[in-house]
Chain A
């Protein structure tokens, strides 16, 4: 099984575990296994429409899955996946841009 490293703020949902073994041949399957094992994690990883929240970054080894095949990135049995949040915020803006939507990195 692949190993998935959990960041500090989410460890209260994995019984304090910093690393979790997950089944799956792809990142999508591994994440499904993770949230099946720890359902309370789901709202903090996925938005209401089922999309990964924008602050969720997943690395396979040192490579961000955004630079690989996204959620379809294949995993081998010994893969090491790291979940790292981007931390962001900022003060209230009275008038957003034309599309009223923040750029996301």
Chain B
């Protein structure tokens, strides 16, 4: 399993995690899942958890889910995953991530250390929901406008 995305898209994900710091930031990955899974755009969202929990939890509401789905339709893309940040924490999925995970989706987790995004890794839930497995992130070259 490989997830392809451009350096520009990855930079946008990192920027969102840095801007949300010290809270968790999150959003959707929009793209295509055909012969390859490719992220073509992101749909950043504000964290809907209550103030006291946003440093270690994120929540995307059903209303925001519908907005993202409409945006994906508008761009003729699909929702193919979710990205979120782990402030001052490794970019491995937690037990809470697993309990709430959707099948099929790619989950990009970015470790943000002292306000600086340091690394992203991507994960997918396996069919029996017992664990995540890592998928390789393949960074593609920037595309000229």
Contacts and interface: CB of A to CB of B under 8 A. Distances in A.
Whether chains A and B associate is yes
A98 interface: no
Contacts of B102: 7, 9-10, 44, 55, 85, 87
A8 B102 CA distance: 10
Given A7-B65, A8-B69, A9-B105, A88 B60 contact: yes
Contact of B129 (A43, A88, A90, A93): A43
Overall SS of chain B's interface: mixed
Contact of B94 (A12, A84, A87, A92): A92
Interface string B42-73: 00000011000100111111100110010000
Contacts of B107: 89
Chain A: interface residue count, which band? Answer: 20 to 34
A90 to B, nearest CB: 4
Interface stretch (B3-11, B81-89, B133-141): B81-89
B56 A91 contact: yes
Contacts of B26: 87, 89
A71 B145 CA distance: 50
Interface of A: 7-13, 43-44, 54-55, 57, 59, 64, 84-93, 102-103, 105
Interface of B: 24, 26, 28, 48-49, 53, 56-62, 65-66, 69, 78-80, 82, 84, 86-87, 89, 93-97, 100-105, 107, 128-129
Given A44-B103, A89-B58, 13 more contacts: A8-B104, A13-B103, A43-B129, A44-B102, A84-B66, A86-B59, A88-B96, A89-B84, A89-B93, A90-B94, A91-B24, A91-B89, A92-B96
